[in-house]
Amino acid sequence: MPSDAMTLPAEAKRHDPVLPLAVRMHLGLQLQALYGPPPELDEAEPIQALLRQLDAVLASQGEALSAEIRAGMTAQMPGLLRFALSLTKDRSRAEDLVQETLMRGWRSRHTYQPGTNLGAWLTMILRNTFYTYHRRRTYEVEDPDDRHAGSMTIAPSQEDGLHLQDMQAALAQLSAEHRETLVLIVLNDLSYEEAAVAMGCKVGTVKSRVSRARERLTHILGLEGVGWERHDP
């Protein structure tokens, strides 16, 4: 099982008429263990490396990030990197995708509405970039069992490793949209409204995808009849 030190996003505690709290928390912790915690902001790599690369590109064009924009992008980097990994299943490609996302975000900064969620806006750009260009060309990885999905995870114990292998196999059976929505809501802690912006769909669609993804994982992992308490606190 994942470490008790891990914290679970508040979304996992929201009422769900289908699944009990214990099941939602169990699935959330397994996802968190699989993908690992987001990179700490005080770590020099890869976050600062991506920003340095972006600075270099902008400098060659006679431009530079303002302190405010740089701080905002830095704060969003961990979530972007983790979401990029869930799409590419490869660390170096995920970093490339995040770098291009930041560049596209900078070039499209006039379209960003101040006061709205910067993370959701950048996530939308990242997802659109992946599906429009990179999935078709260079970011598609042959990984039917999601074996690369754990390339940023913490090192599990032998028993935990078996649980994570089960979760990897279960995630591979979800549709891409269900898997992506689950990562955004449960791991990146976006609200339903913010995830809807990132995914380009309605809020109700996001809620439905999360619920169905959880139900599907619960069924695949055999968690339906193990005596979960159905009443939320």
76-128 pLDDT per residue, tens: 888 898 899 888 888 888 888 888 898 888 888 888 887 788 889 999 999 99
Of 196, 193, 199, nearest in space to 177 by CA: 199
The pLDDT assigned to 136 comes to: 60
Cβ proximity of 99 and 141 under 8 Å: no
Structural domains of the chain sorted by starting position, each given as residue range(s) with its CATH number in brackets: 1-36+154-233 (1.10.10.10), 39-152 (1.10.1740.10)
Residue 107 burial (CB count, 10 A): 13
User: Any residues with CB less than 8 A from the CB of 121 and at least 6 apart, and which?
Assistant: 105, 112, 197, 198
- Write the pLDDT tens digit of every residue in 23-60: 788 788 888 777 766 655 445 466 677 778 888 888 88
Give strand ranges (E) for 5-116.
none
Do the Cβ atoms of 27 and 187 come closer than 8 Å? Answer: no
Write the pLDDT tens digit of every residue in 163-211.
678 888 888 898 999 999 988 998 888 899 999 999 999 999 999 999 9
User: HSE of 10 in the Cβ direction (CA atoms, 13 Å)?
Assistant: 3
